Amino acid sequence: MAHLHFVEDKNGDVIDNIVYCSDSCHRNHSKTYGGWNGCHEISVSEPCASCGEMVMGIEDFGGLDR
């Protein structure tokens, strides 16, 4: 599960997001930390913007029975 930092445009619309592996990485790396924003599923694996640990995406769980 990913912790996300939403990037907004001047109108307040979300235009991008930054992926973190944990709340502590989010809190320590983001200059505009807005509080806990975890338990998000992301489509594909992506490295944490702070420590580089891979955050597993749902497409990388292929072959698992649900």
The total domain count for the chain is: 1
Residue 46 domain-assigned (yes or no): yes
Residue 66 domain-assigned (yes or no): no
State residue 64's pLDDT score: 53
pTM value?
Answer: 0.85
Residue 40 domain-assigned (yes or no): yes
- Yes or no: say if 55 and 46 are a contact pair by the CB < 8 Å rule: yes
Residue 57 domain-assigned (yes or no): yes
| H-state helical runs in the chain | 23-29
Q: Give residue-wise pLDDT tens across range 4-59.
A: 999 999 999 999 999 999 999 999 999 999 999 999 999 999 999 999 999 999 98
